[in-house]
Structure 1
Amino acid sequence: MAFKALVREVQAHLQEILDDPSQRLNEKLLESVDGQVTETILESDRDAILNKLSGLLPTLQQDPTPVTNLIDRLISPQRYTFSRVLSINPPVDFLAGLAAPSPAINLTTLCLLEKAKFRPSDIGIVAGKVDVVGALVKLWLCAQDTAVAGRAHDVILGLLLPEAMVPGSIGLVEGGFMWRRLLRDRDIYGSIFSICSLTTTGQDSQPSKRDKTVAQARLLDMLLRIDGEPVRTSQIPEIERQYGVSDGGLLHFAAIHMVDYKDDILMHVNLLEFYTMYLSAKPKTIPLSPTTNWTKASTFALEFLRKHGLHDRSLSYFFYPDDKDPVDLTFLYGRSANYLGTWCSVYPKDFLGQPTMVNAILNRLMSALQIVSTGQWAQGRAPKDDLHVLACLPRMTLLPRGQSLSPLGFVPVRPANEDALRTLAYVFNGSQDTTLEMAGQENAAARALYYFYMANSPNFWRDVVSAAETVALKDTAMAALSVMAAVITAHWGSLPSTMTSNSPFALPTEEELANKCGAPSLPATGIETIMTEPAIGVVVPYLIKPAQTFSNLVGGGRGDVDSAAYKVAVAKHDTLIHLHEMMKQWVGNHPEAQEMLATVGRRVAQGPMGGSSEIGGRIGTMEL
């Protein structure tokens, strides 16, 4: 149907419904106005249809979804501005649209409001509609439909942080119209507290306790996105004091006073996850005095959590599991471990500045990993939360010292376990972000950890290859391949020639590492260690061998195993590509390896399933 004819037919149909609201909507006709039509339609026709749709909604006696969908399509082009939304006749009743019991109408009203986020003057117009902003906040916190609540969240966020802005960049200053409305309007600011506070449960027009916890979760999520001075500081002290906040603002209320974490385990989980995400946000430096200890007050997030006891409370479920309720521990141990891992990863210097706590964590990991039986590892029952913490620790803390052992030594390569293998791969690979302040130390420690581990696991590479060849256990096989790739592409650094630090976590010297490993010297790079014994006689032949298949299995129904075999073959080929790329750099100093490089290159060219069974055997006997 030609565009013009289609537009005329739609307009005529909408007029019929306006004249007789009991008539059925022609859904197929309305759906035919697709994106191509809405991009090419004359603006006068667009406005005419929108005017009819606006007049239709208040009297419509059937499901409004076809109408709201058409409105959404018509206003979707970015050139359709908020000024044009305001010109729709009859005027859009934003308040009624937000309060309507229909999610479809709610979503369309939000779509119309969102048009304001592109211009500060339009944001000011929305912020000036006090009742509309109040209804928008209520919809965000109280909507039963999660899609509606999510879209309301996005609209508020867009009005607070217009495009090209960053969190905290405008605040309560000229131009921050929506900030002022939310945080300085007594009714709206107070409504956020009253809706989310459990102290108002049972009062008139207040949500149920269950619905309040939903609102609490939504507020925590929003605070992660708008963190900055406006929510960190007091705005209306009288309102804040009513809800237990004596010195602070919305952040203090939500993070400290809002949640009944002792009696609501699910909200306690939510709160712990909030602390973790808050801690992992981009550090925002706080003002420091000449006497400030940088390792204890490097960012606002960490200082805030520490100052209010939230840091220690978040760690306690990992440190002191024996003191906790077993039911609580089921939900909170992993979250506590995740918080700890985030702290170690985001603030490694702060973490290393507290050696007593570091040693306590190492001892805790030793205890947790030592009691895992061989059968548990073999059955895939790995202590995942403890492995996560281990992987997040600065690598220099994992180095064995004197007679003390490293918890990394209790992470086995045999029996093969997916989580254990991926942990080893991550630790051995080093830090991929070379811009980090401690990247050099991390990469030197990664190399040392690999050789310390190898010194106690002479069959390491044979066990890794054995796991990779067990294609029926796809995830474990792919984890074993990740170990190979991690060492091949390792980001390793050099150890110092002499001791340069008195820190309990100082790196060993090169000579000390070599002596402990019983070798005069050790390869400096991952590719170099792969191209020497014991790896070269095991890893390279395996990677060059043709991929395994399940064609010799008896019986039918091989779809899943064949799929597993192919996925492992692709991962194996990807690892071979890494080997080939690293060999091309390494072979410049080893011209005798040109033949091997050519052989690896030919196997790469054959793809995941190609190759000759003779190639792997030849590689194993080549001499460099």
Structure 2
Amino acid sequence: MAFIVLAKEVQAHLQAVLDDPGKGLNEKLLESVDGQVAESILEADRDALLNKLSALLPTLQQDPTPVASLINRLIAPQKYTFSRVLTIDPPADLLAGLVAPSPPLNLTTLCLLEKAKQTLRDVGIVAGKADVVCALVRLWLCTQDTAVAGRAHDVILGLLLPEAFNQGAIGLVEGGLMWRRIFRDKDIYGSIFSICSLSTVGQDGQPSKRDKTVAQARLLDILLRIDSEPIRTSQIPEIERQYGVKDGGLLHFAAIHMVDYKDDLLMHVNLLEFYTTYLSSKYKTIPLNPTTNWTKASTFALDFLRKNGMHDHALSFFLYPDDKDPVNLTFLYARSASYLGIWCSVYPKDFLGQHTLVKATLDRLLSALQMVTTAQWAQGQAPNNDLHVLASLPRVTLLPKSRVPSPLVYIPALPANEEAFKTLAYIFNGIKDTTSEMADQENAAARALYYIYTVNSPNFWRDIVRTAETVALKDTALAALSVIAAVITAHWAPLPTTLISASPFELLTEGDLAIKCGAPALPKSGVEAIMTEPAIGTVVPYLIKPAQTFSNLVGGGRGDVESAVYQVAVAKHETLIHLHEMLKRWIGDHPEAQEMLATVGRRVAQGPMGGSSEVGGRVGTMEL
């Protein structure tokens, strides 16, 4: 009953403002129709209020925000469909709402249009309104209000990929109506090119150069979401040729011709980020027909970027920094490293086949890591971009070649560095995905790299444990524990006994590794490596030892110290649980380790802080 009274009161107020446009809005009254009221109001009252609001907007002489906000709340419920939007009387002027220089009105109109994504029929109705779609596209690209631009982006995406998209083959065909409207309508398709092209700066109705770069960034962003045949291929050749595209569509324009990256560093950054994200998705083609295979991996992105010179361009800032402008390099080196990392991760076999670029990458990593001083590692100034690339490479490339050392050996265990430990943990652990065609090779290389690294760093485990015990440096201690856990749970595979391939980027044999490590035989699994020297005399006692206390720690609040101690204790206990589980599997072939399994099991049962005492150790500080 209260809702009915409130609705009638609001209707009467809106009618009064309609009768006298100079009358002020009672904002408090309008706000009383909050989300809960709007959800529960009678549908007849909802419709009556929306009719009044629609009639009021064209005559309103004051800030429309309260009216727009009330409309948004009234249409917010899922049950309020686009079909209901079309029954508003007087009809909602969607075109006027999109072109109005008022963000509140823009947002309200976008809320109305967004309702159409719920059914393919409604998508078709919107697609039939060419002037509305044209205004929607222009609003998205040209508005200076970021909230409006973001909502317009979402509406366009929702209409291109409506909620009904998965209704089957017939639905897919009907769902193409908005695609055809945007990409086959000369006015709309042409407006995207003209608004985003720098060649039209200064022409009537065109944004400024600065505003065009904003539009360019918005276009690049949405292309990543709707990559498909209509984006990749020519749609209206006469328009595309006008903007430099001879063979291709909107993707070619945006990725190759649109951005003047030589004179716009920010857009150069955006462009490299676009290439990286575009390259990162192997399963990204949108199926606009029922025969498209969702699961088939495509190399279109890589082939496209390589064919048009963008692949080499994106790599060059990491591989050949000496040739680049230092100012540009400050911003582009990291993006280039990200691109290289994605290429290696998503297309490892393609990377391995490019011997010149593999060598250039390794040379660059060797040079970069050798330049990092001990003081820089100690002060937390890790070369994160270089470490990212190193961790992204197929592990086989990191194995030493003849007299050239592995870049991995230049990552120190001391001075302790969080990012260095994370990199080592990732590389030593191998890959869990046994379905990967490179899983065996990667995991065999992970094992070999672990032994090669520990031979070059004989105090490795002592340094790792020392860092893990230094709870005063919580993040570094946790990273050190991640190295221990990574080796315990490693997905290692054996090396071959002989090699057939003559590739320079090939695995070692088991005999080669034994010679390099000076050992007749090496443990086959991570847990076995932990259960042999030097790890067993250092790592296992540390894991079994009771958790540290926080007494006598100088500096910092007691609460912060307790939190750090507990977090490290939990991570240590989780690592011990990993050891216990792996020992259960390993013990079958090594019954002599039964006593160790029992000891570890007893400590696991005590919990993270169980058995802690002064004897267990106090929080220390690391001497760097």
The answer to whether the 8 A contact 2:577-2:604 is kept is yes
- CA deviations over 1:429-463 (Å, ceiling 9, x no partner): 11133322212211111111111111221211111
Instruction: Please name the residue that 2:54 is paired with.
Output: 54
Q: Pick closer, same or farther for the CA change 1:64–1:320 going to 2, 3 Å.
A: same
- Whole-Å Cα distance in 2 between the matches of residues 580 and 462 of structure 1? 21
Deviation at 1:357, TM superposition (A): 1.8
| 1:336 aligns to 2:307 (yes or no) | no
Aligned to 1:104: 104
Q: What is the match of residue 150 of structure 1?
A: 150
Aligned to 2:502: 502
**Aligned 8 A contact 2:4 2:45 in 1:** no
Deviation at 1:218, TM superposition (A): 0.4
Task: Report the equivalent of 1:472.
Answer: 472
Identity %: 78
- Within a 5 Å distance, the mapping from 1:382-393 to structure 2 comes to 382-393=382-393
Cα distance, 1:548 vs. partner? Answer: 3.5
Distance 1:329 1:126, change over 3 A: same
1:119-157 per-residue CA deviation (whole Å, 9 max, x = no partner) reads: 222111111111111110011111111111011111111
Please say which of residues 270-279 and 477-486 is displaced more in the overlay: 477-486
Deviations 1:388-419 (A, max 9, x none): 11111000110113322111111111111111
Distance 2:40 2:614 in 1: 63
Q: Which residue of 2 aligns with 1:206?
A: 206
**Distance (whole Å) between structure 2 residues aligned to residue 235 and residue 176 of structure 1:** 14
Q: Deviations over 1:30-85 (max 9, x none)?
A: 44434443443332222222222222333334443333333223222322211111
Other structure's SS at 2:77 match: coil
TM-score normalised to structure 1 length: 0.90
Cα distance in 2 for residues equivalent to 1:541 and 1:34 = 62
Q: Distance in 1 between matches of 2:6 and 2:485?
A: 58
CA pair 562-179 structure 1, distance change in 2 beyond 3 A: same
Q: Structure 1 residues 592 and 6, CA, compared in 2 at 3 Å: closer, same or farther?
A: farther
Q: CA deviation at 1:261?
A: 0.6
Mapped contact 2:141–2:219 kept (Cα < 8 A): yes
Which amino acid is 2:226 matched to? I
Note the 1:175-254 alignment, pairs <5 A.
175-254=175-254
Q: Report the CA distance shift for 1:35/1:397 in structure 2 as closer, same or farther (over 3 A).
A: same
Question: What is the Cα deviation at residue 164 of structure 1?
Answer: 5.9
Distance 1:210 1:596, change over 3 A: same
* Matching residue's letter, 2:491: H
In the alignment, structure 1 residue 7 sits paired with structure 2 residue 3: no
Aligned pairs (5 A) from 1:367-382: 367-382=367-382
Q: Deviations over 1:531-580 (max 9, x none)?
A: 33222222233233344354323567445444444433333333333333
1:121 corresponding residue in structure 2: 121
* Number of residue equivalences: 604
Cα 1:170–1:391 change in 2 (3 A) is farther
Distance 2:140 2:171 in 1: 21
1:477: Cα distance to partner? 1.7
Indicate whether 1:93 and 2:93 are aligned: yes
4+ long deviations beyond 6 Å = 169-172, 614-617
Tell me if the contact between 2:428 and 2:450 (Cα under 8 Å) persists in the aligned partners: yes
The TM-score, its normalising length taken from structure 2, stands at 0.90
Distance change (3 Å), C-alpha of 1:386 and 1:138 = same
CA displacement 1:95-137 (0-9 Å, x = unmatched): 1111222222211211110111122221111111111111100
Deviation at 1:496, TM superposition (A): 1.9
8 Å CA contact 2:165, 2:171 repeated in 1:
no
Question: Which range is displaced more, 536-545 or 5-14?
Answer: 5-14
Q: Which amino acid aligns with 2:548?
A: Q
Which one-letter code corresponds to 1:219 in the other structure?
L
Inter-partner Cα distance in structure 2 for 1:556 and 1:120: 60
User: Would the aligned equivalents of 2:124 and 2:174 in 1 still touch at CA under 8 Å?
Assistant: no
- CA distance in 2 between partners of 1:199 and 1:572 (Å): 61
**Given residue 225 of structure 2, which amino acid in structure 1 is its aligned partner?**
R
Show the counterpart of 2:432.
Answer: 432
Separation in 2, partners of 1:584, 1:3: 65
The worse-fitting range, judged by mean Cα deviation, of 252-261 and 423-432 is 423-432
Residue in 2 aligned with 1:293? none
Equivalence for 1:350: 350
Counterpart AA for 1:238? E
Q: Shift in Å at residue 350 of structure 1?
A: 0.7
How has the CA–CA distance of structure 1 residues 184 and 171 changed in structure 2, closer, same or farther, with 3 Å as cutoff? farther
Return the offset for 1:191.
0.8
CA distance in 1, matches of 2:307, 2:234: 17
Query: Structure 1 stretch 307-316 or stretch 434-443: which is displaced more?
Result: 434-443
| Counterpart-to-counterpart distance in 2, 1:520 and 1:609 | 41
Deviations 1:255-310 (A, max 9, x none): 1111001111111011011111111122579xxxxxxxxxxx97111111111111
Matches within 5 A, 1:446-525: 446-525=446-525
Secondary structure at the residue paired with 1:579? helix
User: Which whole-Å deviations, capped at 9, do the CAs of 1:293-335 have from their partners, x for residues lacking one?
Assistant: xxxx971111111111111111111121111111111111111
The Cα of 1:507 is off from its aligned counterpart by 1.6
| CA distance in 1 between partners of 2:501 and 2:345 (Å) | 22
Change (3 A) 1:567 1:210: farther
Question: Given the superposition, is the C-alpha separation of residues 551 and 60 from structure 1 closer, same or farther in structure 2, using an over 3 Å criterion?
Answer: farther
CA gap 1:518/1:174 in 2 versus in 1, 3 angstroms? same
CA distance in 2, matches of 1:580, 1:48: 68
Partner in structure 1 of residue 270 of structure 2: 270
User: In structure 2, what is the Cα distance between the partners aligned to 1:24 and 1:235?
Assistant: 51
- Specify the code of the residue in structure 2 equivalent to 1:254: A
Name the aligned partner's letter for residue 241 of structure 1. Answer: R
What is the root-mean-square deviation of aligned Cα atoms in Å?
Answer: 2.6
Are the equivalent residues in 2 in contact too, given 1:542–1:616 (CA < 8 A)? no
Q: Secondary structure at the match of 1:266?
A: helix
C-alpha spacing 1:528/1:18, structure 2 compared with 1 (3 Å)? farther
Closer/same/farther in 2, CA of residues 121 and 468 from structure 1, 3 Å limit: same
Q: Is the 8 A contact 1:514 1:522 kept in 2?
A: yes
User: What corresponds to 1:279 in structure 2?
Assistant: 279
Aligned partner letter, 2:458: P
Cα distance in 2, alignment partners of residues 142 and 504 from structure 1: 52
In structure 1, what is the Cα distance between the partners aligned to 2:342 and 2:556? 47
Post-superposition offset of 1:254: 0.6
Shift of 1:5: 3.7
